[in-house]
């Protein structure tokens, strides 16, 4: 059976869904692997490396022969047309709000898996694309902020005087936020953080940052370790808590997300105004509506009072070479669970909880419980 790995066409995507390491492993499982020409060039993987790992180098139209397509982004209409009926397509599908596109995948007859729905259980840790990519995004957010910041991050005591340490505030201490905290600490900043899940407090403290949370808000943990949306009273209490704090910060990094909902608004225009000129805000949630008032997707906004708001898109893609290696391993780990190693063939167990959690479309229908019925 054959696997195809395209060069991504949507969204200026620099990442690629296979690496020489995973190609070797896929060939070892018995697959023939074709990688589209220059699929890895923006991730620093030359065609030659894929070839040496055992892949054939092909063209986009080779998708038509593939039993499995491994990719980053939900297939475009043009890509869908090239797939054969029954092909398995594994990607991050971004299905919420894109029900028509999900229906189009069903209509094309592909079996589509959304990697972002992988359950956060021990068995699936190696398949967790949200974690592998958010971790790099959290790191890169701090690097981007440091590059835009025209002061130093660490305290420097020199013969010519002392430079104070920068104050960094991280809002949302999940995977991205925790890596942002760790990175800012390594650069010598004084770091504080907040989250609505009480469990995050211990993790923040263990990284040497101070955790900030209101008494009014005991714990807003929701299903599966994610946060739930706050009530209006809770939102008010949170805003009161952080308003004074933000005014004293040099860098604010926001990472807050709620599954299936727009990102919560955490930083108001007033709060942005309260920061001193030269301060930096990085909104990692900008693609999901943003945590920060005034943040613009894909732009660096400078406000009237001289605060820069960074709204970079696809932040993991800004560390593409590292991100691709991890993403490729995540996909390999998942695909491996769907292979009969004796027969060297795909054998999807439709009762497997990983399959149930991630399968969006199959056999002409939208099958995922969150979307079934949205279109037939
Ligand atoms: P996420 O990307 O969904 O959200 C980022 C963070 O924003 C979360 O910590 C969330 O609590 C926080 N947040 C949401 N609303 C907020 C608000 N109004 N104010 C402040 N913060 C807010 O989260 P994530 O990084 O995917 O992590 C979610 C959970 O999953 C965490 O508990 C994490 O430890 C857990 N996790 C488990 C595994 C595993 O067991 N395999 C792997 C990765 C993550």
Q: Over the stretch 74-107, which tens digit does the pLDDT of each residue have?
A: 999 999 999 999 999 999 999 988 999 999 999 9
Query: Would you say residue 6 has pLDDT above 90?
Result: yes
Write down the residue that tokens 């398995």 correspond to: 88
Cα 291 to ligand 1 centroid, rounded to whole Å? 14
Query: Would you say residue 123 has pLDDT above 80?
Result: yes
128 flagged as catalytic:
yes
Lookup: tokens for 28: 């070892």
- Closest residue by Cα to atom 1, ligand 1, is 257
131 flagged as catalytic:
yes
43 flagged as catalytic:
no
- Higher-confidence residue: 12 or 376? 12
Cα 195 to ligand 1 centroid, rounded to whole Å? 9
125 flagged as catalytic:
yes
Overall average pLDDT of the 214-242 stretch: 82
pLDDT at 124 (0 to 100): 98
Distance CA 273, CA 182 (A): 27
- Structural contact between residues 90 and 72, judged by C-beta atoms closer than 8 angstroms: no
Catalytic residue among 120, 123, 186, 276: 120
In a mutational test of the pocket of ligand 1, which residue from 121, 171, 225, 354 has the highest number of ligand atoms less than 8 Å from its CB? 225
Residue 11's region, left for phi above 0, alpha for psi from -120 to 50, else beta, is left
Least confident of 8-17, 113-122, 144-153, 156-165: 8-17
Query: Would you say residue 218 has pLDDT above 80?
Result: no
Q: What is the DSSP letter of 221?
A: B
pLDDT at 213 (0 to 100): 82
Write down the residue that tokens 């020409």 correspond to: 37
Does ligand 1 come within 6 angstroms of the Cβ of 196?
Answer: yes
Q: Over the stretch 353-365, which tens digit does the pLDDT of each residue have?
A: 999 999 999 999 9
Distance CA 367, CA 261 (A): 21
Cα 221 to ligand 1 centroid, rounded to whole Å? 9
Quote the crossing angle between the two packed helices 320-336 and 129-148, to the nearest 10°.
170
Q: How far apart are the first and last CA of the chain?
A: 29
pLDDT at 352 (0 to 100): 97
Cα 226 to ligand 1 centroid, rounded to whole Å? 5
- Closest residue by Cα to atom 32, ligand 1, is 225
Cα 47 to ligand 1 centroid, rounded to whole Å? 37
Overall average pLDDT of the 245-274 stretch: 95
pLDDT at 376 (0 to 100): 44
- Closest residue by Cα to atom 42, ligand 1, is 120
């Amino acid at each position: 059976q054959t696997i195809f790995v395209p060069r991504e066409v949507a969204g200026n995507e620099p990442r690629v869904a296979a690496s020489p390491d995973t190609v070797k492993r896929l060939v070892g499982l018995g697959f023939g692997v074709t990688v589209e020409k220059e699929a890895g060039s923006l991730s620093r993987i030359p065609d030659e490396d894929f070839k040496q790992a055992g892949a054939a180098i092909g063209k986009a139209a080779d998708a038509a022969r593939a039993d499995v397509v491994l990719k980053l982004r939900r297939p475009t209409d043009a890509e869908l047309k090239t797939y054969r009926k029954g092909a398995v397509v594994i990607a991050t599908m971004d299905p919420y709000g894109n029900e028509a596109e999900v229906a189009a995948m069903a209509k094309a007859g592909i079996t589509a898996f959304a990697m972002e729905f992988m359950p956060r259980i021990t068995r699936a840790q190696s398949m967790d694309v949200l974690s592998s990519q958010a971790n790099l995004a959290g790191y890169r957010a701090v690097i981007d902020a440091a590059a835009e910041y025209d002061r130093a991050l660490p305290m420097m005591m020199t013969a010519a005087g002392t430079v104070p340490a920068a104050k960094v505030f991280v809002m949302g201490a999940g995977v991205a936020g925790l890596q942002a905290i760790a990175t800012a600490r390594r650069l010598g900043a004084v770091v504080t953080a907040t989250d609505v899940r009480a469990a995050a407090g211990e993790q923040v403290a263990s990284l040497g940052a101070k955790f900030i949370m209101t008494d009014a808000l005991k714990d807003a943990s929701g299903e599966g370790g994610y946060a739930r949306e706050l009530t209006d009273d809770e939102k008010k209490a949170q805003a009161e808590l952080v308003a004074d704090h933000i005014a004293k910060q040099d860098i604010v990094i926001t990472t807050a997300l709620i599954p299936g909902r727009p990102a919560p608004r955490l930083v108001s225009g007033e709060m942005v105004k309260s920061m001193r000129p030269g301060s930096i805000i990085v909104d990692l949630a900008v693609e999901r509506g943003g945590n920060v008032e005034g943040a613009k997707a894909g732009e660096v906004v400078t406000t009237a009072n001289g605060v820069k708001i960074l709204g970079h898109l696809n932040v993991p893609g800004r560390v593409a070479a590292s991100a691709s290696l991890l993403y490729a391993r995540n996909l390999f780990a998942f695909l491996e669970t769907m292979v009969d190693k004796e027969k060297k063939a795909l054998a999807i167990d439709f009762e497997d909880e990983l399959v149930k959690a991630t399968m969006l479309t199959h056999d002409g229908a939208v099958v995922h419980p969150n979307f079934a019925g949205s279109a037939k």
